[in-house]
Amino acid sequence: MRPVRLSAALRAEIEAHGRAMYPEECCGLLIGLARESTLSDERVILALERADNHSSGERTRRFLIPPDHLRSVERRLEFTEQAVVGFYHSHPDHPARPSQFDQDHAWPWYTYLVLSVSASGTPTLGAFELDPDSGTFCEVRLSVTKTETAIAPR
């Protein structure tokens, strides 16, 4: 399982999205390098793509990113060095860890960021990856950098 790194600005953007959508779940896509460097086992998040929550159920407990939105972003990134490398969503008034529903609908390889948000209090953010063998989420180390791009200078 790969550790994940993102900038403080991107974390703040996820938190702002979660607060703006509260008490409903927010959701979006994580964009990183299409081919991660073999010199680093870290996944670096370079950008976010907000998505509208299209869940037809209880949006305080569920989110749905339409497949067309995902395909549109993938097409836009197709001839770049970037790709969709994961997803984020919020858990209003619940912990920053995936639910059983999240796990049942997750895909291996992708990074999943879960934001715990409430009407008061400091949001917390957890990072996870689905183990393809067991089908369960594993928590991965999340580091937040002060730099704008989250990429260390070379």
Listed by start position, the domains of the chain span 4-145
Do 97 and 114 meet the contact criterion of CB atoms below 8 Å apart?
A: yes
Measure the CA–CA gap between 2 and 142, rounded to whole angstroms: 9
Give the single-character DSSP code of 99: -
Do 24 and 53 meet the contact criterion of CB atoms below 8 Å apart?
A: yes
Is 60 exceeded by the pLDDT of residue 143?
yes
Six token digits for residue 49? 């793509």
Mean pLDDT over residues 78-88, rounded?
95
Q: Cis ω on the peptide bond leading into residue 132 (within 30° of 0)?
A: no
Is 70 exceeded by the pLDDT of residue 61?
yes
Give the single-character DSSP code of 98: -
At 97-109, the pLDDT tens digits run: 999 999 999 999 9
The CATH homologous superfamily for domain 4-145 is Cytidine Deaminase, domain 2 (3.40.140.10)
Is 60 exceeded by the pLDDT of residue 154?
no
Is 60 exceeded by the pLDDT of residue 42?
yes
Q: 63-69 long-range CB contacts below 8 Å, 24 or more apart?
A: 63/25, 63/26, 63/27, 63/89, 64/27, 65/27, 65/28, 65/29
Mean pLDDT over residues 15-38, rounded?
89
Do 13 and 48 meet the contact criterion of CB atoms below 8 Å apart?
A: yes
Share of the chain above pLDDT 70, in %: 92
Measure the CA–CA gap between 40 and 129, rounded to whole angstroms: 17
Question: Confidence class of residue 36 from pLDDT cuts 50, 70 and 90?
Answer: low
H or E stretch covering 51: strand 43-51
Q: What pLDDT does 40 receive?
A: 67
Question: Confidence class of residue 48 from pLDDT cuts 50, 70 and 90?
Answer: very high
Question: Confidence class of residue 39 from pLDDT cuts 50, 70 and 90?
Answer: low
Is 80 exceeded by the pLDDT of residue 146?
yes
Is 50 exceeded by the pLDDT of residue 50?
yes
